Amino acid sequence: MPTHIATALAPRVEAALDTLVQGLARRAPELVLAFASPAHPLAAVLEAVGERFPGARVMGASSAGEFSERAEAKGAISLFALAGDFQIETGIGEGLSADPEAAVRAALGNTPRAGDHPCETVILLLDPLTGRGEEATLLAASLLGPDVPLAGGAAGDDLAMASCLVGLPGRTLSDAVVTARIRSRRPLGLGVAHGHVPLAGPYRVTRAEGSVIYELDGKPAFEVWADATQADARARGMDPRSLQPEQLGSFLLQYEAGLATGDDFKVRAPLSRNDDGSLNFACGVAQGAQLHVMQGRPEAQITSARRAAARARENLKDSVAGALVFDCICRNLILGESFKEALSQISAELGDAPLAGFETYGEIALTAGDLSGFHNTTSVVLAFPR
C-alpha cells in the first residue's frame, strides 16, 4: 500500500479539517498530528480531529508558529495526516518535571514490534518549561534501544513562556510528554542541521544551575559573550556592551552557544541576561561542560534548512511521500519574512512533497550512535517513504 500524506494550515480547526479531508481523497489516515497556537485550546482541537478521524491515532502540541508546504502562519492550526501501511501506537506520560523516567515509560508503553513491520521511528513531543527536554530524549533513546530513531519537538506558547501543552484526544496536559511509535516496513529518513559556526572558545562552564550559566572560565557569562562577539557584532552595527534592553534578544539569537558533538555542534539558545551577568538558556547546560560562542547569519539558516531536508532524503533511500518538520522559533525570529524561504528550500529538496510542522522551543533528533538528542535553533526533518 503506497504512503499518502495530506497537510493543512488554517486559522480555524474546521477549515483545517476540511482541507485535510480533501487532501486525503477518501483515504483513512493511521496518524494525525495537530499543532495549534494557544489561541486555539489544544484539547478542543484534538477532540475535533479525533471525531473527524475516529480510526486514527491523534496527537498534538501547542506551538509558537505553524506551517505547511504552502505557507507559514501565527495563531493558526497545522495538521499532518499519514495514510498507508503503518502500525501506530500513541501514549502520554505526566509529571515529567518530577519523574522524567516514569513519564517517558508511560508515554512509550510496552507494545512489542510486529515482525512484518520491522522498522520503528518514534515521534516525541514534550513540555519544555519542565527543563527536562534533553533528559527525556536520552531516556527514550535508552528505553527504545539504538536502532530506533527519535524525532520531534518541544511545545510552544507563542513566546509567552507560561504554559506549553501536549496531548491526545481526551487528555491534554502541561508537564508531560507524548509519543507516537511508528512501525513500518521500510525505514523513515531523519535529517537535522543548524546554521551556526564557532566564533570563539571553547570556554568551560565553571558555574551553572539548571538553565542558567553564571560563569565561564570564572568570569560572568555575559562578560565572556561580550568579549567574544565584540569585533563581529560591531561590524554588524551592534555594540554588545551598550545594548538597549530591546536589542538584547536579537543580539543573543545571532550569537548562541555550541556544545561540541564530534565534528558538529549542538546549539543552545541564550534567551536573556540577568543583573549579575548570568545568562538564561532555553535548556540546561551542565557545569563543567565546554562551549563555544557561535555566530549565525540569516543566509546560513536558510541553507541549513535545505541541508536537513537533504540528509532526511538521503537517509530515506526512497522517494519522498511527505515530511514532518520541527523548526525552532528562534530561527523564525532570526529570519523574519525569510523563514518562508527556508520552508520553500525544504520542500524543494524533498521534490515538492507535502510537509507540515510547527515552530518549537526545542528540537529532537537522535539516530543510532548519536547522543546529541535535544537541540535549539535547528531544523529537524522526518521524511516518509512513498
User: What pLDDT, in 10s, does the model give residues 58-107?
Assistant: 999 999 999 999 999 999 999 999 999 999 999 999 999 999 999 999 99
Phi, psi of 189 (to 5 degrees): -115, 125
Among 240, 267, 296, where does a domain finish? Answer: 296
Cβ(164)–Cβ(251) under 8 Å? no
Residue-wise pLDDT tens digits, 251-276? 888 899 999 887 788 888 888 899 99
What sign for the dihedral angle of Cα 303, 304, 310, 314?
A: positive
What mean pLDDT do residues 126-151 have? 93
Query: Do 115 and 164 reside in the same domain of the chain?
Result: yes
What mean pLDDT do residues 324-352 have? 92
Q: How many CB atoms lie within 10 A of CB 334?
A: 22
Query: Do 250 and 315 reside in the same domain of the chain?
Result: no
Confidence (pLDDT) at 253 = 81
Query: Do 203 and 172 reside in the same domain of the chain?
Result: no
Give me the helix-helix angle, 245-254 and 221-235, nearest 10°. 80
Among 296, 316, 342, where does a domain finish? Answer: 296
Confidence (pLDDT) at 114 = 66
Residue-wise pLDDT tens digits, 203-221? 999 999 988 999 999 999 9
pLDDT at 383 over 50: yes
Based on the structure, what is the number of domains in the chain?
2
Query: Do 270 and 146 reside in the same domain of the chain?
Result: no
Query: Do 181 and 228 reside in the same domain of the chain?
Result: no
Query: Do 226 and 247 reside in the same domain of the chain?
Result: yes
Strand 320-328 versus strand 355-360 pairing type: parallel
Give residue 244's domain range: 197-296
Query: Do 56 and 154 reside in the same domain of the chain?
Result: yes
Residue 184, classed as helix, strand or coil, is strand
Query: Do 77 and 156 reside in the same domain of the chain?
Result: yes
User: CA 212 to CA 215: how far, in whole Å?
Assistant: 9
- Please tell me whether the peptide bond between 54 and the residue prior to it is cis, using omega within 30 degrees of 0: no
Residue 125, classed as helix, strand or coil, is strand
User: CA 80 to CA 323: how far, in whole Å?
Assistant: 9
Query: Do 185 and 99 reside in the same domain of the chain?
Result: yes
Query: Do 72 and 176 reside in the same domain of the chain?
Result: yes
Produce one character per residue of 51-68: b if its CB has 16 or more CB atoms within 10 Å, e if not.
ebbeebbbbbbbbbbbbb
Query: Do 207 and 86 reside in the same domain of the chain?
Result: no
Among 296, 319, 348, where does a domain finish? Answer: 296
DSSP state of 274: -
Closest Cα partner for 9 from 59, 75, 83?
A: 75
Residue-wise pLDDT tens digits, 152-168? 999 999 988 899 999 99
pLDDT at 191 over 60: yes
pLDDT at 370 over 60: no
Query: Do 83 and 172 reside in the same domain of the chain?
Result: yes
User: CA 274 to CA 214: how far, in whole Å?
Assistant: 9
